[in-house]
Amino acid sequence: QVYLVESGGGVVQPGRSLRLACAASGFTFSSYGMHWVRQAPGKGLEWVGVIWYDGSNKYYGDAVKGRFTISRDNSKNTLHLQMNSLRVEDTAVYYCARGFCDSINCHNLLDQWGQGTLVTVSS
Amino acid sequence: DIVMTQSPDSLAVSLGERATINCKSSQNILYSSINKNYIAWYQQKPGQSPKLLIYWASTRESGVPDRFSGSGSGTDFTLTISSLQAADVAVYYCQQYYSSPYTFGQGTKLEIK
């Protein structure tokens, strides 16, 4: 059974930083790309970014590029999202999600999701 | 960036009837060399995380009921629920994974009429 458990959410003032974590279990973490997706209250899904299985490549959505950084520790089966210069519009539930791999290749659709952690940016 | 546009924004269908949700991409997401469309569909029930339903436009994820089907190619795609059940009340999202950023549609809210 795959488990993805996010933590680190909370209330933070605009301009400050916050670091989220996602603890993974039930699969070979080091073999999968990992994503962050967010959902503002009452709104749709917004893709935040991805880190490849070995950390060699990272890609980000336009809204967070230059402010957010994804990292991973394959020895601890943990994914992180460092969020700097936070804005009110970053308020959302943040999900970590696993990229899909078949027998041949891996792709950037999301086959397992965590329960999410809420980040509220407010003064 | 590839923009994914879903229609309608909301939909009310009677139990047992067919529900159809459309998704249009702003550019072709068919990788012609392998003849695969890089689109997935997700279901998000109230208070829950999203769940993968369909990928490669028409491949059902393991465990997804066969009343869910996907179709389309190139830029126009459809998610169909052949006989709506009460458990299908949810918001449905399409996502392209052809190129970064891997964008989602705005979502379609499906309700019972």
Q: pLDDT tens, A83-116? A: 999 999 999 999 999 999 988 899 999 999 999 9
Q: So what's the pLDDT on residue B21?
A: 98
Q: So what's the pLDDT on residue A103?
A: 86
Q: Does A62 sit within 8 Å of B101, measured CB to CB?
A: yes
Task: Name the pLDDT band for B14 (thresholds 50, 70, 90).
Answer: very high
Task: Give the gap in angstroms from C-alpha A87 to the nearest C-alpha of chain B.
Answer: 20
Q: Looking at chain A, which residue has its C-alpha nearest residue B103?
A: A47
Mutate to test the interface with A, among B34, B49, B104, B110 (most CBs of A within 10 A): B49
For residue A115, CA distances in Å to A4, A36, A44 come to 8, 12, 16
Q: So what's the pLDDT on residue B5?
A: 98
3-class DSSP string for A49-104: EEECCCCCCEEECCCCCCCEEEEEECCCCEEEEEECCCCHHHCEEEEEEEEEECCC
Average pLDDT over residues B70-98: 98
Which candidate from B40, B49, B52 shows the least CB-CB separation from A114?
A: B49
Q: Does A111 sit within 8 Å of B50, measured CB to CB?
A: no
Mean pLDDT by 10 residues, chain A (123 residues): 98 98 98 98 98 97 97 98 98 98 93 98 96
CA distance A99 to A113: 10
CA distance A21 to B36: 34
With a CB cutoff of 8 Å and minimum separation 6, the contacts of A110 are: A35, A37, A97, A98, A99, A100, B40, B42, B50, B52, B95
CA distance A67 to A85: 6
Q: pLDDT tens, B41-75? A: 999 999 999 999 999 999 999 999 999 999 999 99
Q: What is the average pLDDT value for chain B, to the nearest integer?
A: 97
Which candidate from A61, A109, A114 shows the least CB-CB separation from B95?
A: A109
Q: pLDDT tens, B16-33? A: 999 999 999 999 999 999
Q: What are the strands of the beta sheet with B76-81, ordered from one edge?
A: B4-7, B19-25, B76-81, B68-73
Q: Looking at chain B, which residue has its C-alpha nearest residue A114?
A: B49
